[in-house]
Every structure is written in structure tokens, then in C-alpha cells.
């Protein structure tokens, strides 16, 4: 079964064709990063306009790259929640018109479920139930994932998402947008113990996160350092900030794996590309004999393949939407 998956939830116009949930026949992504860079963050209205310009072309390319036509497609899946509402609406409108004109089944998909599914598309040995840490520019979520794609949300952020904080700190350091990858690279040249930034909620005993305190601590540190003639190396600030974020993410994820006797941890979302997070989590999990999985970068960040992938599972479970499908800015996972 071949599904066309569309995602326009944020600043990437994405379309992909996936066969039987796992075989990626194409995965086309048009990034708008350059359009938003001068504003230092994603501008929602601009994102919607750019999606409108790109969507038809990106869908066509996803079929061309898979050497397929609409006659070969069995269903159309689209992210309809959560995300920027104007951006989501472009994808949903496109998917509905395509489903109607080609007489194909339509499925509205939760973006987070797509991120969670991404690892399963490339790793056959993931066990269930497992712990999934979803960390991106918009989300920080610790979820227990059960067989049949059912979920129990263990915790989430009380304020900023992890990626959002990376982007803000990069802005304070004058590093450009999005800053996650730049901080990751700079940190490799820095000393992670140079500055002792706070680790909020590290010992809270639950699975909730809070990152705005780290962000503020970094901002005050930079302001003070500037006044004193900039004595600190930017690499040390980056590495110390990253150590604080990674420490909290790793500790809570490991705590969840231990408490639920999980044998597998999956890492997904844009921040899952972070080299320190990947290696620290792998080392600590190894000590308790738990395996850590993360997808290749193209499946980590926003993409249409993960949407087509989870849509296959949903379709086989009987999910089908009709043409009244709508977009929603919010959309939490339904607990088991």
C-alpha cells in the first residue's frame, strides 16, 4: 500500500511516498529557513504564504522521485494537528482536494505521532512498550509507546521547548537562526563544566521539564560577561548551556525507562540530531542495558515520510477521515 504523506505544520513544506509504512519511495522537503532567518524565528503568516507557493510543486516532485502517478497511490495522509494553524491549513486543503479529485481515502495525522513513528521506519528491533523522547522547536515530550501505536504521555515542558531554547540562546550569542546545530558544533570546542548553569526540575521526581530558567540564566550570564569585557569563550558558554539541557533530558528519559522497565528508548524531533544528547543518552542507557535508537536526520526533522508511515498503521486500524477534516493548532496524544 502506497501512501502520500504531506506535512506543512511549521516551516517545512514536505511530501513523501511510503510503501507499507516503512519503505520510503521519496521524501521531498522544501525548507523556508532562509525566508525566516532575518526575523530570528518562524513568522507564521510568512510560513503559510510560502507553503501555498510550494505545495503543488513539492507534491508533484514526491511522485516524480518515486516514479509514480496518482493512479499508484492508495491513500493521502496529512498532518492536521498540532502546529501553526495557517500553515497546517495549507496542507489540509491540498490533501483534501487531492483526495477528492483522485477519489482516494484521506487521513488526518497528529504530527507528534509522526515523529514517534520515524524511528520504527528504520529500526526493526525496537521493543514495546518503549520510551520516546520527542524534542523539537515546538515540543518536548516524554511518552511511553505501546504496541498498536497507543501512548501514555509521561511528561512535557511547562514552558519553552528544548529546541526553542537552543534557538533563543543562539540568538543571545549572535549565532543566527535556527541555532541548535550551530551551538552543537561550537560546543565541541568548548568546556561543558566552565559555567554551572541551572538544571531545572532535575530532581522533581516526575517527568516534567522546564527550560526557560536555563535560557534566562544564560542571558544574564552573557549580559554580565559583556559588561566585564567578555572574558568567557563563546564555545564554553555554548558547551555549558548544552550540558545543562542534555543533563535534564537524559536524566528524565533514563528515569522513565527504569520505572517502566523499558528495553528501548527512541529519540526523535529536530533536537534529536544533537550529538551530545545522542552520545550521553546512549552511554547512560548502555549502563542499564537499554538500547537507544534515533533516526537519520532527514526523518528526525519535519518530513512527510513519517506522516505517511504512521498513516499506514492508522489505515490498517481502520482510521479514515472525510472531507470535513479540519486543522487544529493544538492536539495532544490520546492516552491509553
Provide the binding-site residues for ligand KG4, judged by CB under 6 A: 10, 136-138, 163, 166-167, 178-181, 184, 269-271, 273-274, 301-302
**Is residue 302 part of the contact set for Zn ion (CB under 5 A)?**
yes
Mapping DSSP onto H, E and C, the string for 116-174 reads HHHHHHHCCCCCCCEEEEEECCCCEEEEEEECCCEEEEEEEECCCCHHHHHHHHHHHCC
Nearer to ligand KG4, 73 or 311 (CB): 311
Please state, in angstroms and rounded to a whole number, the distance separating the CA atoms of residues 200 and 50: 37
Minimum distance, C-beta of residue 97 to ligand KG4, in the bound complex (Å): 25
Please state, in angstroms and rounded to a whole number, the distance separating the CA atoms of residues 235 and 226: 15
| Helices 85-101 and 44-65, packing angle to 10 deg | 30
Minimum distance, C-beta of residue 38 to ligand KG4, in the bound complex (Å): 17
Hey, is 175 helix, strand or coil?
A: coil
Residue 178 touches which of ligand KG4, Zn ion, none (Cβ within 5-8 Å per kind): ligand KG4
Nearer to ligand KG4, 86 or 138 (CB): 138
Are the CB atoms for 79 and 113 separated by under 8 Å? no
Hey, is 81 helix, strand or coil?
A: strand
Q: Give the interface segment with Zn ion, choosing from 92-100, 133-141, 194-202, 307-315 (CB under 5 A).
A: 133-141
Q: Give the interface segment with Zn ion, choosing from 90-98, 174-182, 238-246, 294-302 (CB under 5 A).
A: 294-302
Are the CB atoms for 22 and 295 separated by under 8 Å? no
Are the CB atoms for 10 and 137 separated by under 8 Å? yes
Please state, in angstroms and rounded to a whole number, the distance separating the CA atoms of residues 110 and 314: 11
Nearer to ligand KG4, 98 or 215 (CB): 215
Q: Which of 27, 119, 136, 268 binds Zn ion (CB under 5 A)?
A: 136
Minimum distance, C-beta of residue 168 to ligand KG4, in the bound complex (Å): 9
Minimum distance, C-beta of residue 114 to Zn ion, in the bound complex (Å): 8
Q: Give the interface segment with Zn ion, choosing from 13-21, 147-155, 241-249, 302-310 (CB under 5 A).
A: 302-310
Minimum distance, C-beta of residue 107 to ligand KG4, in the bound complex (Å): 20
* Residues binding Zn ion (CB under 5 A): 136, 302
Amino acid at each position: 500500500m502506497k501512501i502520500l504523506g504531506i506535512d506543512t505544520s511549521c516551516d517545512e513544506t514536505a511530501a513523501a511516498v511510503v510503501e507499507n509504512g516503512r519503505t520510503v519511495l521519496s521524501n521531498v522537503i522544501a525548507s523556508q529557513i532562509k525566508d525566516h532567518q532575518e526575523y530570528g524565528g518562524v513568522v507564521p503568516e510568512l510560513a503559510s504564504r510560502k507553503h501555498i507557493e510550494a505545495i503543488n510543486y513539492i507534491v508533484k516532485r514526491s511522485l516524480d522521485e518515486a516514479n509514480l502517478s496518482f493512479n499508484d497511490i492508495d491513500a493521502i495522509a496529512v498532518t492536521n494537528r498540532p502546529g501553526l494553524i495557517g500553515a497546517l491549513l495549507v496542507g489540509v486543503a491540498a490533501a483534501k482536494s487531492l483526495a477528492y479529485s483522485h477519489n482516494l481515502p484521506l487521513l488526518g495525522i497528529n504530527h507528534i505521532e509522526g515523529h514517534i513513528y520515524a524511528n520504527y521506519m528504520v529500526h526493526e528491533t525496537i521493543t514495546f512498550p518503549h520510551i520516546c523522547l520527542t524534542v523539537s522547536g515546538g515540543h518536548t515530550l516524554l511518552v511511553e509507546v505501546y504496541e498498536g501505536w497507543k501512548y501514555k504521555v509521561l511528561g512535557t515542558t511547562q514552558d519553552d521547548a528544548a529546541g526553542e531554547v537552543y534557538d533563543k540562546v543562539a540568538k543571545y550569542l549572535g549565532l543566527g537562526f535556527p541555532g541548535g546545530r550551530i551551538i552543537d558544533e561550537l560546543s565541541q570546542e568548548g568546556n561543558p563544566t566552565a559555567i554551572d548553569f541551572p538544571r531545572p526540575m532535575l530532581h522533581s521526581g516526575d517527568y516534567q521539564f522546564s527550560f526557560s530558567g536555563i535560557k534566562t540564566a544564560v542571558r544574564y550570564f552573557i549580559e554580565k560577561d559583556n559588561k566585564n569585557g567578555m572574558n568567557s569563550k563563546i564555545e564554553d558558554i555554548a558547551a555549558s548551556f548544552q550540558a545543562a539541557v542534555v543533563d535534564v533530558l537524559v536524566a528524565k528519559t533514563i528515569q522513565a525507562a527504569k520505572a517502566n522497565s523499558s528495553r528501548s528508548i527512541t529519540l526523535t524531533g529536530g533536537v534529536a540530531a544533537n550529538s551530545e544528547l545522542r552520545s550521553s543518552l546512549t552511554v547512560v542507557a548502555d549502563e542499564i542495558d537499554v538500547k537507544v535508537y534515533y533516526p537519520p536526520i532527514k526523518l528526525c526533522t519535519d518530513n512527510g515520510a513519517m506522516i505517511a508511515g504512521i498513516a499506514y498503521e492508522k489505515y490498517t486500524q481502520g482510521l479514515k477521515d472525510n472531507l470535513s477534516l479540519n486543522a487544529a493548532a493544538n492536539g495532544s496524544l490520546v492516552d491509553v
